[in-house]
Amino acid sequence: MSKKPFVIQTILAVASCKLTRAALRVSGRGGGTALPGKVAMRFERNILAVTSKGMDIIIVTGTNGKTTTSNMLEHALTARGDDVLANKSGANLLSGVTAEITCSADWLGRPKKHTAVIECDEGALKQVVPLTHPKVIVVTNLFRDQLDRYGEVMHTLEEIRKGVRKVPGSVLCLNADCSLTSSLALDAPNKVVYYGLEVPYGDQSGAGVSDAMHCIRCGAKYDYEYRTYAHLGSFRCPKCGYRRTDPDVSVTSIDSMTAQGSEVHMEVAGRPLKEPVHIGLPAIYNIYNACAAIAAYRAFGGDAEEVAASLADVNSCFGRMETFMPGSQPVQMILVKNPAGCSQSIGYLTGLDEDFVLVVCLNDRTADGHDVSWIWDAEYEKLAEDGHVRRIYVSGDRAGDMMVRLKYAGIPEEKISAGCTDKDILKMSAESELPVFVLPNYTAMLSLRSVFSEATGKKDFWEKQA
């Protein structure tokens, strides 16, 4: 680490950070959440090390579930009375994390809040952790994501490994069911806590998306005792013996799953929790996110029963299962950005026992990744088989590619409407007599969300923060 900055540098960095953010908000450009951090770093490159000093920090990284897991942790920590700092804006690169933490410090750069839950981009982890020294690092899972931004999934794994190596004192919370994620423990001196599902879920054939069929150590094909989704499950390499580690936090039964949420039984450190756990968000991947939150909360010194109880009323957040009511029917927005997440969202929709209208929005801007070929690996075919899908609207920069994909999936053309703007989608949703589900990728979600927020009077994320 570099030498300690002079006080004047710290003051300039903090002041420039706060003033830039204030200026952006006054001009209505609250979305520029990384810029204040970039400005601050021009005065003092490692200002984050100063402004996070003494804070107890949990960092959440991984392909899918970062935002929801962070939100669950923030919710639980707030419920126990902590004043929690979180980077809710989704600015999760070094500049964004720097902006969030530095803006919350006092003018001398001393933190005013003492607990933080920070969502961190997988590639930025190696820059963020040496400056923040987190108590706990959660890695949710690893799937193929935005190929042209990160390269292959193995590259992403190596990026995370570089970060982990820099902080041997941080406790790792790893998804035991993900052969890629749990491999982070193979050569790390860190204390490791594992979480996972002790029960199979869904299709056991291994068909569909798989990002990690072969052993990360020797290349042999994994055997599975059971699967949950994508490449997650109880894996074992028949050749070298690399296998799933028994988790410390585990789901022992899934008792119910509805559009409102799930009820599961769990075991923590070999003992069943007293009460069944209600998770106030639907779908299998939120059961994983709940396990991650419980494991991290415990590693942070909290009580498992306490965090488990808080999961019942956790809110959906910022495009992840967020619900709007522009008319008489709910509109639920589910962010999708890679094949595994998208297939799971489609699985969730087709598992519902009700008719609905679907909106699919695909952009290809920088934050989305310019290569949209991943849509060919997501299981849109399931939509063709489901009679509950009454109509599909398609929008976005790459609506044409999406139309072709849906056609190949076997969805009749007369069921699909193309060329919709955000305003068209809002109007249709307001008039719909059926529930509406929207599957946007990242920038499509940002723009739709702002149209729906304005129409329904929901506040934007930067207005929510104190």
Nearer to Zn ion, 216 or 416 (CB): 216
Tokens read off for 366: 């920088």
Q: CB of 243: closest distance to Zn ion in angstroms? A: 9
Choose, by CB under 5 A, the member of 43, 242, 288, 437 that binds Zn ion.
242
Q: CB of 177: closest distance to Zn ion in angstroms? A: 17
Please count the residues of this chain forming the interface with Zn ion, following the rule CB under 5 A: 8
**CA distance to 137, 145, 146, 217, 256, per residue, from 152 (Å):** 22, 8, 9, 17, 36
3 state DSSP class of 243: strand
**CA–CA dist 44, 55 (Å, integer):** 19
DSSP-derived secondary structure letter, 274: S
**CA–CA dist 264, 276 (Å, integer):** 6
**CA–CA dist 435, 289 (Å, integer):** 25
Choose, by CB under 5 A, the member of 125, 237, 304, 402 that binds Zn ion.
237
Q: CB of 180: closest distance to Zn ion in angstroms? A: 13
Q: CB of 234: closest distance to Zn ion in angstroms? A: 15
- Span near Zn ion by CB under 5 A; candidates 26-34, 39-47, 185-193, 209-217: 209-217
Residue carrying structure tokens 């419980």: 294
Tokens read off for 165: 């190596």
Q: CB of 244: closest distance to Zn ion in angstroms? A: 13
Nearer to Zn ion, 231 or 320 (CB): 231
Nearer to Zn ion, 22 or 240 (CB): 240
CB atoms closer than 10 angstroms to residue 391 = 17
N-to-C CA span, the chain: 32
Is 215 a binder of Zn ion (CB under 5 A)?
A: yes
Q: CB of 237: closest distance to Zn ion in angstroms? A: 3
Nearer to Zn ion, 217 or 427 (CB): 217
Q: CB of 25: closest distance to Zn ion in angstroms? A: 52
Contacts 24+ apart (CB under 8 A), 32-35: 33/89, 33/90, 33/91, 33/96, 33/99, 33/100, 33/462, 34/91, 34/93, 34/95, 34/96, 34/99, 35/95, 35/99
CB-based contact 126:153 (threshold 8 Å): no
Q: Which H or E element spans position 438?
A: strand 436-440
- Span near Zn ion by CB under 5 A; candidates 208-216, 257-265, 341-349, 427-435: 208-216
- Span near Zn ion by CB under 5 A; candidates 18-26, 48-56, 99-107, 240-248: 240-248
**CA distance to 38, 68, 128, per residue, from 159 (Å):** 22, 22, 12
Nearer to Zn ion, 59 or 142 (CB): 142
Choose, by CB under 5 A, the member of 22, 108, 218, 269 that binds Zn ion.
218
**Residues 6+ positions from 121 with CB-CB distance below 8 Å:** 61, 92, 93
Q: CB of 242: closest distance to Zn ion in angstroms? A: 5
- Span near Zn ion by CB under 5 A; candidates 25-33, 231-239, 274-282, 442-450: 231-239
Nearer to Zn ion, 239 or 390 (CB): 239
Nearer to Zn ion, 151 or 238 (CB): 238
Is 217 a binder of Zn ion (CB under 5 A)?
A: yes
Q: Which of 83, 223, 303, 371 is catalytic?
A: 371
82 catalytic residue (yes or no): no
Nearer to Zn ion, 112 or 239 (CB): 239
- Span near Zn ion by CB under 5 A; candidates 210-218, 227-235, 389-397, 424-432: 210-218
Burial of 137 (0-12, 13-18, 19+ CB in 10 A): buried
**CA–CA dist 195, 215 (Å, integer):** 20
Site mask, Zn ion, residues 360-399, x = CB under 5 A?
A: ----------------------------------------
Choose, by CB under 5 A, the member of 240, 269, 312, 367 that binds Zn ion.
240
**Residues 6+ positions from 37 with CB-CB distance below 8 Å:** 17, 91, 94, 95, 96, 97, 98, 99, 100, 102
Rounded to the nearest angstrom, the gap between the alpha carbon of residue 266 and the centroid of all alpha carbons in its chain is: 22
Q: Which residues are catalytically annotated?
A: 371
Q: Give contact residues for Zn ion (rule: CB under 5 A).
A: 215, 217-218, 220, 237, 239-240, 242
